[in-house]
């Protein structure tokens, strides 16, 4: 089994940077300088930290490495979406997607190389799980994107991005510790200082970690529901065999709704699979009583997976039935389809045929009932 990638300087929380600076015998203000260079200015190397003495930079480099993601590919859609493929220090490829809208510039962030969830309609699911990303690799997607957007003239620096959604490659709550550490940095006043209201984390429904996530963070939660019966959801999302719909919805009802939170339910509409009027009626009953909205996502067709997008009229009829049942429901516009950057289309490692896709998982197994395999 391949070991986890080592933590680098960008992965360290502020308290550990403080401790590192103290151990090196430096004055405390150096920790803030280092942290701001990393997370406000997005320094890619220690050499960029020009107001730190060269001797201190050398000692820092000897203590803990600083690695930045390199840009392996960049593709721009006709709708303004940009998909970046990043390469990690050990050669893994992960993707993140920039989605500009009036008054909002959003980055879709990955938390794993590949994914262990095996959702049958998702290209990332064909990869299997290669490894978790470190907190530094998660955070650095934001830093590299901000820098690149400034270079491209998309917005003034140093932080063009306004919103983050953790809906890229991987299941965020399956990499909980690194996700949590990354959120601490991204919300920090000495870091990028994102508002908790502008950060959303998506999950396929790892119930125990949902409860923990709700208590330990203030950011928003999105739940990928995608079906209204256990039979269909288990076929689409093997995780449902461990935590079926009733357990998942109980966790949603128990989720702390502090600071004006509400849950977003993501529902990918698959033609002839989960898009009937009966599904809409069941969905309205399932979410009843939960402060929530439903994002309806017409399926982005992926060759070889065997699913079709529903007709536009079916999508509208599904939404209208939810609205008549007093459910807040919107149809999410698909972005970046022409560059395979839309929901469910990220597969940087090459999909099912990639020889690296199995056997290198450094994450603990999921716990719960039954089997997801």
* pLDDT tens column, 281-305: 999 999 999 999 999 999 988 777 8
| Residue 262: inside a domain | yes
Question: CA-to-CA distance for 222 and 21, rounded, in angstroms?
Answer: 38
Question: CA-to-CA distance for 232 and 317, rounded, in angstroms?
Answer: 21
Question: Domain of 313: which CATH number?
Answer: 3.20.20.70
Predicted confidence at residue 338, as pLDDT, reads: 58
Interval 162-168 mean pLDDT? 96
Interval 71-98 mean pLDDT? 94
Q: How many CB atoms lie within 10 A of CB 103?
A: 6
Question: CA-to-CA distance for 143 and 122, rounded, in angstroms?
Answer: 27
**Res. 351 pLDDT band, cuts 50 70 90:** very low
Predicted confidence at residue 356, as pLDDT, reads: 36
Question: CA-to-CA distance for 277 and 175, rounded, in angstroms?
Answer: 36
Three-state secondary structure call for residue 84: strand
* Under 8 Å between Cβ of 155 and 149: yes
Predicted confidence at residue 157, as pLDDT, reads: 74
Token pair 């009843």 is at which residue?
A: 288
Last residue of a domain, one of 63, 86, 103: 63
| Residue 2: inside a domain | no
**Res. 35 pLDDT band, cuts 50 70 90:** very high
For residues 126 and 22, membership in a common domain is answered with no
For residues 56 and 77, membership in a common domain is answered with no
**Res. 308 pLDDT band, cuts 50 70 90:** very high
For residues 26 and 100, membership in a common domain is answered with no
- Residue span of the structural domain in which 53 resides: 11-63
* Under 8 Å between Cβ of 363 and 132: yes
Given the residues 67, 95, 209, 349, select the one marked as catalytic. 95
CA distances from residue 251 to 128, 130, 217, 311, 334 in whole angstroms, order as listed: 26, 29, 16, 33, 29
For residues 29 and 98, membership in a common domain is answered with no
For residues 26 and 140, membership in a common domain is answered with no
Which residues, 6+ apart, have CB-to-CB distance to 289 below 8 Å? 253
| Residue 173: inside a domain | yes
∠ Cα 34 36 42 (to 5°): 100
DSSP letter at 15? H
CA dihedral 186, 192, 194, 200 (to 10 degrees): -40
- Per residue in 92-104, pLDDT (tens digit) is 999 999 999 999 9
| Residue 248: inside a domain | yes
Please indicate whether residue 108 is annotated as part of the active site: no
Please indicate whether residue 343 is annotated as part of the active site: yes
Tell how strand 199-203 and strand 220-224 pair up: parallel
Question: CA-to-CA distance for 289 and 54, rounded, in angstroms?
Answer: 59
Structural domain count of the chain: 2
- Per residue in 202-212, pLDDT (tens digit) is 999 999 999 99
């Amino acid at each position: 089994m391949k070991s986890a990638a080592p933590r680098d300087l960008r992965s360290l929380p502020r308290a550990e940077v403080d401790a590192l600076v103290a151990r090196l015998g430096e004055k405390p203000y150096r920790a803030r300088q280092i942290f701001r260079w990393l997370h406000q200015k997005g320094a890619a190397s220690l050499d960029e930290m020009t107001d730190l003495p060269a001797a201190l930079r050398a000692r820092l480099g000897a203590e803990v490495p600083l690695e930045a993601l390199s840009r392996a590919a960049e593709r721009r859609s006709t709708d303004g979406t940009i998909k970046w493929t990043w390469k990690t220090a050990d050669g893994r490829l992960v993707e993140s997607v920039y989605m500009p809208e009036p008054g909002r510039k959003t980055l879709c962030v990955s938390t794993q190389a590949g994914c262990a969830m095996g959702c049958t309609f998702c290209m990332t699911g064909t990869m299997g799980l290669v490894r978790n990303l470190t907190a530094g690799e998660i955070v650095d997607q934001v830093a590299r994107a901000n820098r690149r957007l400034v270079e491209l003239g998309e917005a003034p620096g140093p932080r063009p991005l306004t919103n983050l959604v953790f809906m890229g490659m991987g299941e965020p709550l399956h990499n909980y510790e690194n996700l949590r550490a990354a959120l601490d940095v991204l919300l920090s006043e000495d870091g990028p200082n994102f508002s908790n209201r502008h950060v959303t984390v998506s999950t396929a429904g790892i119930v125990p970690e949902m409860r923990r996530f709700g208590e330990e963070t203030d950011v928003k939660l999105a739940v990928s529901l995608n079906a209204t019966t256990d039979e269909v959801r288990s076929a689409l999302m093997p995780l449902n065999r461990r935590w079926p719909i009733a357990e998942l919805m109980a966790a949603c009802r128990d989720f702390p709704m502090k600071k004006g939170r509400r849950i977003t339910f993501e529902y990918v509409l698959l033609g002839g699979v989960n898009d009937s009027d009966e599904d809409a009626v069941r969905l309205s009953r399932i979410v009843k009583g939960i402060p929530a909205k439903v994002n309806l996502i017409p399926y982005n067709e992926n060759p070889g997976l065997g699913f079709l997008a529903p007709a536009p009229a079916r999508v509208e009829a599904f939404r209208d039935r939810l609205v008549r049942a007093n459910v807040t429901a919107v149809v999410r516009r698909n972005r970046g389809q022409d560059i395979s950057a839309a929901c469910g289309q990220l597969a940087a490692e090459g999909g099912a045929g990639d020889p690296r896709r199995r056997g290198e998982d450094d994450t603990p197994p999921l716990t719960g009932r039954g089997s997801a395999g």
